[in-house]
Amino acid sequence: MPALPLHEAGAYVAAAYAVFATVLVAYVAIMTRHVSRVRHDLHELRDELARTRRG
Amino acid sequence: MRDQRPGVGIPRLGAAAAAALGVAFALVFFYAPIEADQGFVQKIFYLHVPLGIVSLTGFVAGGILAVQFLRTGDRAWDLRSYVAIHLSLILSVAVLATGSIWARGSWGHWWLWNEPMLVSFLVVFLLYCCYQPLRFAIEDPDRQARAAAVFAVMAGAFVPLNFVAVRMASAVAHPRVLGATGGSMPGPMRMTFLVSLLAMGMTFLAMYRLETARKTAAMELKRLRRELDAAAPEPRSDSRSRGAPDARIAAA
């Protein structure tokens, strides 16, 4: 099969790399949000636990 | 002494992975030559193939980590196995999508049902799509971990067998990249491919560390909530409603 002209092939290449970038960025964004939420909850709970232990 | 806290070193690893990806993509677009047969669309190869290799390796690693869990009974191995499979599943979506785009650009079809490589990867993907429903359908944390580990071992063993079977089958359209002779790529293409593979491996590792840290922190959170509930005389409705025991890997 002959090679596609650059303007047509470029769209496919851009689409493929965009799919990868989207997956990666979405994953990192979701994970970072989860990690910061868990860290925040953890910090609060540690404080609460320390207060409970002190009576 | 090495710091064993979850999350330590992840920003550095993430930055290294991002830099490696940047170098790999720079090589793809500014160093690797245009392939004579397919032309510019072949640039997808440097993304699609490393993604496929890393995701299949992740599935196999998930099986090996599950074997460790079955041997030792240590929940940390179950968590590692779960994260490896979860990440591989996410990357598999990208493999299927990029492969389909490349197929359309190169062969004129989004999908070829008579191509063993494509169909076999889809079978592996669909097989692992059953992992999470199976896992989270079981309430008891011990049974859940054991069933998931057995699944991971069986499916992990299926991946290389499937790979060998496909290699033995006659190809219709999909090229075979990793030949017994090391492939037929010229030097710059091979180097670009290897750098892309390394960058993808580092990216997987960074994602793996990030997700493992999150899960570990979430489990510690649940343990602390239970400890607090036990210490405080009055019931804490907000913590009780959150549910699962800490040993169990949360679905979210």
- What's chain B's average pLDDT? 84
Packed helices A6-54 and B187-231: angle between N→C axes, nearest 10 degrees: 20
Domain boundaries, chain B: 20-174+186-215
**Residues B105-135 pLDDT 10s:** 888 889 988 888 888 999 999 999 999 999 9
Contacts of A15 in chain B (CB under 8 A): 101
Interchain proximity B47–A16, CB inside 8 Å: yes
Lowest mean pLDDT among A31-45, B12-26, B60-74, B180-194: B180-194
Interchain proximity A23–B94, CB inside 8 Å: yes
Contacts of A36 in chain B (CB under 8 A): none
Contacts of B218 in chain A (CB under 8 A): 34, 38
The predicted complex's ipTM stands at 0.81
pLDDT for position B175? 64
Mean of the pLDDT values across residues B137-151?
A: 93
Please tell me if residue A48 touches chain B, with a CB cutoff of 8 Å: yes
pLDDT for position A47? 83
**Residues A18-35 pLDDT 10s:** 999 999 999 989 988 888
Q: Does B196 score more than 80 pLDDT?
A: yes
Q: Chain-centre distance of CA A44, in angstroms? A: 24
| Helix and strand totals (H; E) in chain A | 1, 0
Please tell me if residue A9 touches chain B, with a CB cutoff of 8 Å: yes
pLDDT for position B11? 86
pLDDT for position A17? 95
Residue type, B184: S
Residue of B nearest to A48 (CA): B228
Please tell me which of the candidates A12, A31, A41 has its beta carbon nearest to residue B221. A41
Distances (CA, A) of A55 to A16, B51, B168: 59, 54, 70
Lowest mean pLDDT among B7-11, B28-32, B159-163, B236-240: B236-240
Share of chain B above pLDDT 90, in %: 53
pLDDT interval class at B208 (50, 70, 90)? very high
